[in-house]
Structure 1
Amino acid sequence: MATTQAPVPVSTIRASSQRLQCPIKTHSLHFATNSSNFDKLVKASLSLKQSRKKTLTIPHATPSSSPSPPTTFHGQCYVLGDNIDTDQIIPAEHLTLVPSKPDEYKKLGSFAFSGLPSSLYPIPFIEPGTDSTQYLIIIAGANFGCGSSLEHAPVALGAAGVQAVVAESYARTFFRNSLATGAVYPLELEQEGVNKQCTTGDIVTVDLERNVFINHTKGKEFVLKPIGDAGPVIAAGGMFAYARKTGMIP
């Protein structure tokens, strides 16, 4: 997936505003349907992670015992704008929580999207007094998951109960971390401005077999880009679980 970074002149106030909006544009997730490139990505990621002293693990990141991965997700959606960064998804003060510990994993989910400004998003993603969300599908604009390259970001969404994110485009690191952890399905839309045609609380369906996103409340259907070979990795529980399941590693 190619990524471009717009020049940011440090001498102007406008530049500061651009940096705050995370001006990283992402393009088509071309490797998702290219098996050769995808296998190289998985192997490279495994090599990188095995070289680290610590690897982020989550309780559900184990090979799926079901005979086939899920093909549809259905429920209420939560609608966001462009440039939702990882600090809005999970603020830095909560990164001390260890996802491999079930209690802390659950608590991490309770803080998902707690960094969103209430002036723009008055409906809470997590209702007070609860630790999970009623919104199983996230609808967003362009450049979702920009900012810091935190594996905690997709993990927090998965811990909160999110099944899929449907966005115009993603920051490369968020998409990669979603695969690495198997936390959520990061799905990309063919059409721009879909989030502006949806409202938080709409009943929606994501159909991975037909590659469509359906808003039942609005009576509209939109085309998704195929997730391709990335789907089985997420269904398996992440890259390590997928590598074990397919015999890449013991």
Structure 2
Amino acid sequence: MMRITGRVHRFGDHVNTDVIIPGRYLTLRTKAELGRHCMEGLDPEFAGRAKPGDILVAGRNFGSGSSREHAILSLQGAGIAAVVVESAARIFFRNAINLALPVIVCAEAARALQEGEEATIEPVTGLIAQAGRAWQAPPFQGEVAAILASGGLVEYLRRSFSPPPILQD
């Protein structure tokens, strides 16, 4: 996984999946459509400000609530390339990894990253930096790193279980 550099968008604690993408939008089928409604209950202007490569930062218990993949798809549709949080709901974290959205758990960085300023994240090493300051998160390892590097669980499985080439006589 490469380096991610983007502007920071901050939210608080206990942002659940129903707030990330309200249930009334679950019939939408594309990331772009979902992205237009991402976080609208907390910040109606968010989808208009977020740009490809941006970073969402939040507090504790991010992504709790319904175990809907739509929440991750809407974040990606809004342009979010990574999420930095104090803590995340386990099922949200795994759904995000499976859909190739790195969720970095680093309380110090989540509290310190400044809204609207550019930050850089290196998911492989766990390094997070902004304006001359740096924080170290646990790096992704093993299967989680492999899933992210593959572009998500489906592609990881496709690569892992592809049939061997047919040998010619």
TM-score for the superposition, normalised by structure 2 = 0.85
Unaligned runs of 5+ in 1: 1-69, 100-104
SS at match of 1:163: strand
Which of 167, 183, 187 is equivalent to 2:104? 187
Distance, in Å, in 2 between the alignment partners of 1:169 and 1:196 is: 11
Per-residue CA deviations over 1:124-174 (Å, capped at 9, x if unaligned) read 3222xxxx7227111111111011111101111111111110111110110
Q: Which residue of 2 aligns with 1:242?
A: 156
Tell me how far 1:249 sits from its aligned partner: 8.0
Per-residue CA deviations over 1:28-79 (Å, capped at 9, x if unaligned) read xxxxxxxxxxxxxxxxxxxxxxxxxxxxxxxxxxxxxxxxxx3210011111
Distance, in Å, in 1 between the alignment partners of 2:63 and 2:13 is: 10
Distance, in Å, in 2 between the alignment partners of 1:249 and 1:239 is: 17
Q: Runs of at least 4 residues of structure 1 off by over 4 A?
A: none
1:169 pairs with 2:87: yes
1:74 pairs with 2:9: no
Which of 111, 129, 134 is equivalent to 1:196? 111
Per-residue CA deviations over 1:72-99 (Å, capped at 9, x if unaligned) read 1001111111111001110111001123
Distance, in Å, in 2 between the alignment partners of 1:196 and 1:188 is: 11
Structure 1 vs Structure 2: percent identity of aligned residues?
33
Distance, in Å, in 1 between the alignment partners of 2:163 and 2:24 is: 35
Q: Is the 1:86–1:153 Cα contact (8 Å) retained in structure 2?
A: yes
Q: Is the 2:10–2:56 Cα contact (8 Å) retained in structure 1?
A: yes
Structure-to-structure mapping, 1:88-107, within 5 angstroms: 88-99=19-30, 105-107=31-33
Distance, in Å, in 1 between the alignment partners of 2:85 and 2:71 is: 15
Q: Which residue of 2 aligns with 1:41?
A: none
Distance, in Å, in 2 between the alignment partners of 1:249 and 1:112 is: 39
Distance, in Å, in 1 between the alignment partners of 2:34 and 2:90 is: 22
TM-score for the superposition, normalised by structure 1 = 0.59
Tell me how far 1:209 sits from its aligned partner: 4.0
1:207 pairs with 2:122: yes
**Of the two, which has the highest radius of gyration?**
1
Unaligned runs of 5+ in 2: 165-169
